[in-house]
Structure 1
Amino acid sequence: MGHATHPPETDLIVPLPDGEHWDPHTIHTHYFSFSIPHAQIGAFLYLRYQPAFPLCQGGAAIFRGTDNINVLDIDHLNYEITMPWPDIDANTITTANGLRIEFMEPGREVRISYASTDGQTKLDLIQTAVTPLLARGHVMPGEENYHNAPGRVPGGSEQFMHCTGQLELRGEHYDIDCYAIRDRSWRQVRKETQGGVPVPPVGWTPMYFGPDLIFNQVGFEAPDTNPEWLGVYEVPDGAPTHHFAWLHSNGENKQITRVRRNVLQRQPHTFASLRQEIEAEDEDGRIYRFVGEAIATATLPAWPNVSFHDSVYRWEDEQGRVTHSTYQETWFDRYHRAVKARSRHTATD
């Protein structure tokens, strides 16, 4: 059955309404990342277009270690909520706050650069594809409800990249050589209304172990793991716990039919996942198991009406192979209030 892919030109889909009325929550996005495991450093490089206005938001967030409780705890943050529409010159996109994305070869090679206004933080990266542009329908729950708008077909893609380059972080130099995922959305309607979608916390778990095992899923914790969301949300018996997943092995794309994710430990103050395990089954019935632990975490401002957390995870497969990659997690206010109330109750027992 395999998994669908997108053509290279989808990297440059960033249309404006051109006189049409578009839902104000319509977005396009570009996301890039990298990690430096020995220094416990992760990065969130993000551009979110809001074409109905038109404006954009985004920038660079670089974090280190696991004690980043508040947004400004991280090592470097330059994330603007309201910027002009970016400058788009052929295959190069540049934001007002200095994030530059050059698609040197769409679908395969991209250069990302950034320099802070104070000159103390800058980066220059080359990312080269190690998987195709794997197609996804949506990443945030609720987007699927708006996929039938006439003439505005939404889409999204994910792709693992070999990332090399340099980082200067407040005067400290680091060489970068890692495998990092990138993703994007176009013409998605991603609502920001209070309360959001009645769904448990969603986790995104990309990992690259080598050409034979590249995996990702987005979904919530399995009900049989006694997750924190029990009693807050109702999930039908037997319902899938993932709404998007894939596996790439030696040039072949596979569908994932089942995911069981179990969070073992959460950060006391932010409630972000610190340790977890995953069991996944592919379309051929093969089962894969992974265990992961956060070596860096950050609370980030990308989505104001949700709690959004990025991290660098150390993942291990059943053969003992180790890799590092981003793990992202988000949830809505109803869940956050419930978990906060439980944590206060536990603290007073």
Structure 2
Amino acid sequence: MTTTLTTADDNFHPRGDDPWWTETVWFAWMVPERQLLGHYYLSFRSNLGVFAGGVTVFDNTAELPWELPFHSWDWHQPIPGGLDLRRAELDNGMRIVAEEPGQRYHLTYRHRRGLNLDMRYTATHEPLLTDEVPPFNKGHLDQIGRVTGEMVLHGETIPIDCFAMRDRSWGPRREGPQPRAGYTYSALPDGTAFLSVSVSNDHSDEIRTGFLTRDGIQHRLVAGDRKVDRDRDGRPATVRIDAVDEIGRSMAAEGRVISRQVLPVYSSMLCWNSLVEWTVDGQQGWGEDQDVWHPRKWRQFKESSIGSDIA
């Protein structure tokens, strides 16, 4: 996997006139010793002239957005005229500066009621570029990097130094029924890492894309599955990934959920975001699992499992 990113890849992509054309920017960070995971997320409906998103921080004290240590999410905000995502500053306090194309980003956030952020993301792995592979709808970029800096949460300064994911997507993203999916990753201090993107059916969670980095070599995943054990409320409790990459290397990762939140990212998407402690190749690391549902499908799942032992 060798990819050259240019400065144009950090800005808005060419689009047609589809009103559902969507461009997203996402960075994650974590403080494992605090059981804390944060998301920095923006979604632009460029042809409609509006954006949504914000910043959310959770730990093991709460799961619902309005009970988290911090959650501020905007909807239907006007996109500033002439906005360039390589140096974007928004009225909600979010600011992104692309210091080196596809490699280094400076993220800041200022909120008068609870959170200030000053973080730098530096890529440590090659990006995975995916084009129209379900569940993605056109273009998608996923890349692990090191995130350093600090956050000031309700007056307390908390250092940040972790490995976490960023992604970018562009293409039509319609509201409505969508497949149940899983987005799962981990990065270890020695450079070992994986990303698994799966789509669920009645029998399994089939891995459609992703990557494995081992001994400094990164290749795309071509087969495998994601298995989730759930608690009595249906929430992910443990996750296992078994996969094979395009040069025949196999991997097995076992993860234990440490903390989680439920986030309605869009009206047609409900996501259980989990901070996960992973064991990969016998080594311990940290990462995430995103358990993605259409709200109606989640409701049907809950109704069908009432009184049963889900796990």
Same-fold call, TM cutoff 0.5: yes
Partner secondary structure for residue 206 of structure 1: strand
Among 118, 126, 142, which residue is 1:124 paired with? 118
Could you tell me which of 147, 163, 166 is aligned with 1:182?
A: 166
Say if 2:297 is the partner of 1:346.
no
88-97 or 56-65: bigger deviation: 88-97
- Are residue 170 (structure 1) and residue 170 (structure 2) matched? no
Give TM-score scaled by structure 2 length: 0.90
Counterparts of 1:1-349 in structure 2, within 5 Å, are 3=1, 5-15=3-13, 22-65=17-60, 67-68=62-63, 70-86=64-80, 88=83, 91-118=86-113, 120-138=114-132, 141=135, 143=137, 154-186=138-170, 188-193=171-176, 196-197=177-178, 199=179, 201-220=180-199, 229=202, 241-266=206-231, 268=233, 271-319=234-282, 321-346=283-308
CA contact (8 A) 1:40 1:296 kept: yes
CA-to-aligned-CA distance 1:246-293 (integer Å, 9 cap, x gap)? 12234433121211211122461xx33121111111223221111001
**Cα gap change, 1:12 to 1:284, in 2 (>3 Å):** closer
**Would the alpha carbon gap of residues 165 and 267 (structure 1) be closer, same or farther in structure 2, given more than 3 Å must change?**
farther
Aligned length, in residue pairs = 308
Task: Write out per-residue CA displacement over residues 45-88 of structure 1, whole angstroms, 9 at most, x where no aligned residue.
Answer: 101110111111111011111641x2212111111011121473
The CA RMSD measured in Å over matched residues stands at 2.3
Give the distance between the partners of 1:83 and 1:73, measured in 2 at CA.
24
Q: The residue matched to 2:141 in structure 1 has which SS?
A: strand
Q: For the pair shown, which has the larger CA radius of gyration, 1 or 2? A: 1
Displacement of 1:158 in angstroms is: 1.0
Contact 2:37/2:57, CA 8 A, preserved across alignment: yes
Mapped partners of 2:263, 2:307: distance in 1: 27
Is there any run of 5+ residues in structure 1 with no aligned partner, and where?
144-153, 224-228
- Aligned in 2, Cα 1:138/1:29: closer, same or farther, shift over 3 Å? farther
Superposed displacement of residue 90, structure 1: 7.7
Does the aligned pair in 1 maintain the 2:85–2:96 contact within 8 Å? no
CA contact (8 A) 1:44 1:61 kept: yes
- Contact 1:258/1:281, CA 8 A, preserved across alignment: yes
C-alpha contact 1:127 1:163 (8 A) present in aligned 2: yes
Q: Alignment partner of 1:52: what SS?
A: coil
Q: For 2:47, what is the secondary structure of its paired residue?
A: coil
- TM (norm. structure 1) is 0.81
SS at the partner of 2:3? coil
Say if 1:277 and 1:10 are closer, same or farther in 2 by CA, change over 3 A: farther
Percent identical residues: 25
Conserved in 2, the CA contact under 8 Å of 1:156 and 1:184? yes
Query: Highest relative contact order (Cα 8 Å, sep 6+), 1 or 2?
Result: 1
Q: Distance in 1 between matches of 2:212 and 2:56?
A: 28
CA apart distance, 1:162: 0.6
- After TM superposition, what 4+ stretches of structure 1 lie above 4 angstroms from structure 2? none
Separation in 1 of the partners of 2:207 and 2:265? 22
Amino acid at match of 1:57: A
